[in-house]
Amino acid sequence: MRKIVLLAAAAATVAIPAAVNAQARGGIIIVDTDQILKTCTACTSAASQLQQKQSTLRSRAQTLQTQLTTEGKPIQDAFQALNGKKPDAALQARIDAFQTKEANARKELATSEQQLQSTAQNVQQQIAGRLVQIVEQVRARRGAALAVSKDATLANDPLGCHQRGSGRSQQRAAFSQRHAVAAAAATAAAGTLSRMSEGAALGPLDVKRVMAALPHRYPLLLVDRVETLVPDQSIVAIKAVTINEQFFQGHFPGRPIMPGVLIVEAMAQAAGVLAVESLGLANSGKLVYFMAIDGAKFRTPVEPGVLLKLEVEFVQKRSSVCKFAGKATIDGKLAAEANFTAMIADPPTA
C-alpha cells in the first residue's frame, strides 16, 4: 500500500500531479497537521484572539487587586489602631462594604474565567472544523480512501477500508476516513491552542480550580485564587488575610500576626497547585507532602487586611518529587521566602 506524506496543504492551493494522484487511489494519506496549521490563517487568527482575551482578563484581575489593596489599607490601619477593641458602627460598615466589594470582584473574575473557558472550547471546535475541510479536500484530490494524522496508529486492513470491490467495504472506508479526519483535526486543534499558550500564563483561576488541585479545605486552605500560572515554570497566587482567620484569636491577642509556618504553608500550597496543574493531576486525589524546608526567612509581619502574594517557581520537577523556590510579598515588599521540597503521592489507604 502506497503512503503519501503531505508536507503542506491548503484547501484551494494544493497542486497534485495526475501521476501521484493515481498512485494514491485506494491508499492512505498521512497528514502532517502541523504543516497544515502553518498555512491556515483562520486557525492562527482564532487562537491569537483567544490569547488577547486571556491577556485582557489578567489585566482586569490586576486592576481589581490594586483597587482592593488601596481601599483596604486605610481600613486595616483603622482596625489595628483599635488594639483589639471592637470597631464602632462606622468602621464596621466600612469593613462590611469592603468585604462585599471583594466578594463581588471574585465573582466577576470567576464569571469571566468561565466565559473564557467556553470561548477556548469554541475556538478549538472552529479550528478542528477548518482542518476537517482542508484535509478532506486534499484526501479527495489525492484519491485516497483514508486520511489520518501522522501520529496515528492503524491496525492491518482497518475495517477492510482498502478493499474497494464491495459497497459495504466502501461504506466502511468512508466512515473510517471521516472518523480519522475528525480525530486528527480535533487533536491538531487542541495542540494548536496548547502550543500558542506554551510559555504564556494561565489564569486567573478561582478557588474552585484551586480546590480541584489541592485536598486542603477550610480553615487550612491558604490559597484563595491564582493570578497566573505558567505550566512547568511558575505560579503567582493570592491569600487574602482577614481578621476572621482562626489563628489570629491566639497569635496574638491585641497584635494579630500570621504565623510564619502558615506563610510557608501558603507558599507550599501554591507550589502544589503549580505541580498538580503542570502534571495534569487535577481532581486525581493526589496529596502533596512536605519533605524539606530550607533557607526560610521572614522579613515583614503579615497582618489582617492584606493580600499576600505567593510567588513560586520550579527549581526541579519530577513525576513525584519537586523542588521549589518561593516568596511571599505584600504590595511588592518581601514578607517571607523559602526553598522547599514536596512529594506528590496517593492518599494513605484506610
Mean pLDDT of 29-37: 71
216 counts as catalytic:
no
Confidence category of residue 150, pLDDT binned at 50, 70, 90: low
**DSSP β-ladder status, 234-241 and 306-317:** antiparallel
Q: Pick the catalytic residue: 162, 179, 216, 251?
A: 251
Percent of all residues in the chain with a pLDDT value above 90, rounded to a whole number: 28
Question: What ranges in the chain are assigned the alpha helix state H?
Answer: 18-24, 33-39, 41-80, 89-142, 167-197, 207-213, 260-279
30: left (phi over 0), alpha (psi -120 to 50) or beta: beta
- The 3-state DSSP class for residue 265 equals helix
pLDDT at residue number 107: 83
Distance between terminal CA atoms of the chain?
A: 56
Q: What is the DSSP letter of 342?
A: E
Q: Tell me the domain boundaries of the chain.
A: 1-198, 201-350
- Choosing among 3.10.129.10, 3.40.50.620, 1.20.120.450, 3.20.20.240, the CATH entry for 201-350 is 3.10.129.10
202-253 tens-digit pLDDT: 778 889 889 988 989 989 999 999 999 988 899 999 999 999 999 999 999 9
- Whole-number mean pLDDT of the chain? 76
Q: What is the DSSP letter of 180?
A: H
